[in-house]
Structure 1
């Protein structure tokens, strides 16, 4: 069976085109604005430009990731304000969430910035900003704990562990002889 011929009886397929024939060379001019010189540009220049663009993109994304806790900090502050200053389940849940999120983020700083690691990308600045913002979130949570009265910051919170006060004076009643 010939290429391009179908099984459809004696006539075959009239619409079949054989594209495997490369024997004829066609001189088709390049379209306007197309230059073969741009295709022949040095591959090392293109790969260097591509690597520079990728490094710039990684640096930009690292800074975006580093600034992300600021949005979380503002939202958490608003939620704490809305929860009020009375001790109830909602305010305690919000406060412990405000403490847990920065702690877990600080534990995974290396994993968070791993995709942006590159020889040309400096990650120290973004990491320091990320850590500082998360420490700010942690401080906000500790402040809320103190505002709720859940931190033992007064002497009365530690009364059970204090020794009894020494008696400085003793007075007694009068003597009744009669």
Structure 2
């Protein structure tokens, strides 16, 4: 037994000699190749991580598209009359893209990597949120809440004339 240790296992047949700390490598094993394998594995791991980050960044960038479809459906269901539900849906459609555009940097922070290019996902994210903002502004216009005529700003001007009028129902004669 080696002094200073509580126990030791000798792998040699000679039990009278103290155990040697230098155990020869098994046949076909090379320490240099194991170090290269470790570096290859770590490089592959880093490449897989950067690929995963790029994929997740694209998923986050495309997420506002689902919101656009849902918000468009909700605005269509709310109708074109001014009431509490349609105003709430419209301002929600305006607020969500504005708050998302303010936090673009924070949204893509977990996916920052020197190997991952985040410019294209960020641009797609911004474009889809601007589309959502345009959808909300369009709904404001259909509700008649946007000041689009000069008479909306100056009270002394007459209001604009209606170009078209439609009524519902079939006339009964």
The normalised TM-score by structure 2 is: 0.71
CA deviation map 1:2-44 (0-9, x unaligned): xxxxxxxxxxxxxxxxxx976365xxxxxxxxx978x936211
Q: 1-side partners of 2:52 and 2:156: how far apart? A: 57
CA deviation map 1:28-76 (0-9, x unaligned): xxxxxxx978x93621111111000000000000000000000000000
**Consecutive aligned runs of 4 or more in structure 1 exceeding 3 Å deviation:** none
Q: 1-side partners of 2:29 and 2:100: how far apart? A: 51
Q: For structure 1, list consecutive stretches of 5 or more residues without a partner in the other structure.
A: 1-19, 26-34, 163-178
Q: 2-side partners of 1:161 and 1:45: how far apart? A: 78
Distance 1:78 1:117, change over 3 A: same
Alignment of 1:1-178 (within 5 A): 23=9, 40=34, 42=36, 43-160=38-155
Q: 2-side partners of 1:154 and 1:65: how far apart? A: 39
Q: For structure 2, list consecutive stretches of 5 or more residues without a partner in the other structure.
A: 1-5, 12-27, 158-173
**3-state SS in 2 of match to 1:115:** helix
**3-state SS in 2 of match to 1:40:** helix
The normalised TM-score by structure 1 is: 0.69
**What's the CA shift for 1:155?**
2.8
**What's the CA shift for 1:159?**
3.2
Distance 1:52 1:85, change over 3 A: same
